[in-house]
């Protein structure tokens, strides 16, 4: 019969993680039939893309919003964290964002939060202190 092409009633495409079996039937047309199993393995082993996270800055306070990244199988992922998102004191803080594609691939990406008051106080208009014999200024 020469080259035979297998036939199957099993699905040919799989979109979920796991191992599947396609049973291929080869029939030479002369009553000789064999069934050969073929494993199909879907296994996402690629981490989500590491995003570049800009510093979150503010003078009196700073609030971060959840960043996103992409994954080869899951599409767009939104970061999650147990860290605070709003900071009201001066200093540099780090939020650790977790990106989980649901298939066992997880990355943690840090993001700086910087609260830095760089604005001078408003210059007040001070009235002259006057007196006839003496004068005392108060704060």
Task: Answer whether residue 17 is part of any domain.
Answer: yes
Q: Is residue 122 part of a domain?
A: no
Average pLDDT of the chain? 96
Q: Is residue 130 a part of any domain in this protein? A: no
Contact partners, residue 107, CB within 8 Å, separation at least 6: 47, 48, 50, 98, 99
- The pLDDT tens digits for 33-42 are 999 999 999 9
What gap in Å lies between CA 115 and CA 40, rounded to an integer?
52
Domain count, the chain: 2
**Token pair for 57:** 């800055």
Q: Which of 74, 78, 50, 49 is nearest to 64 (CA)?
A: 78
Task: Please tell me whether residues 65 and 110 are part of one structural domain.
Answer: yes
Question: Strand 106-115 and strand 56-58: pairing?
Answer: parallel
Do 72 and 111 fall within a single domain?
Answer: yes
The answer to whether the beta carbons of residues 23 and 10 sit under 8 Å apart is yes
62 domain residue, yes or no: yes
Q: What is the pLDDT of residues 81-115, one digit of tens each?
A: 999 999 999 999 999 999 999 999 999 999 999 99
Work out the number of other CB atoms within 10 angstroms of the CB of residue 48: 23
Range of the domain at 6: 1-43
Which residues neighbour 16 within 8 Å (Cβ) at sequence distance 6 or greater?
Answer: 42
Q: Does the residue 99 lie in any domain?
A: yes
For residue 109, being part of any structural domain is answered with yes
User: 28 vs 1, 97, 133, CA distance in Å?
Assistant: 6, 58, 125
User: Has residue 51 been placed in a domain?
Assistant: no
Does 136 reside within a domain?
A: no
Model pTM score? 0.78
What's the pLDDT score for residue 45? 96
What is the distance between the alpha carbons of residues 57 and 64, in angstroms, rounded to a whole number? 9
């Amino acid at each position: 019969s020469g080259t035979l092409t297998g036939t199957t009633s099993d699905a040919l495409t799989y979109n979920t993680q796991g191992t599947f079996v396609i049973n291929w039937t080869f029939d030479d047309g002369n009553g000789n039939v064999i069934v050969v199993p073929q494993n199909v393995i879907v296994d996402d082993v690629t981490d989500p893309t590491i995003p570049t996270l800009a510093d979150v800055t503010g003078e009196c306070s700073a609030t971060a919003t959840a960043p996103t990244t992409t994954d080869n199988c899951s599409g767009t992922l939104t970061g999650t964290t147990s860290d605070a998102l709003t900071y009201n004191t001066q200093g540099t803080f780090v939020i650790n964002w977790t990106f989980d594609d649901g298939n066992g691939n997880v990355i943690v990406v840090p993001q700086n939060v910087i609260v830095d008051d760089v604005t001078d106080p408003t210059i007040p208009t001070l009235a002259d202190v006057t007196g006839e014999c003496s004068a005392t200024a108060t704060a």
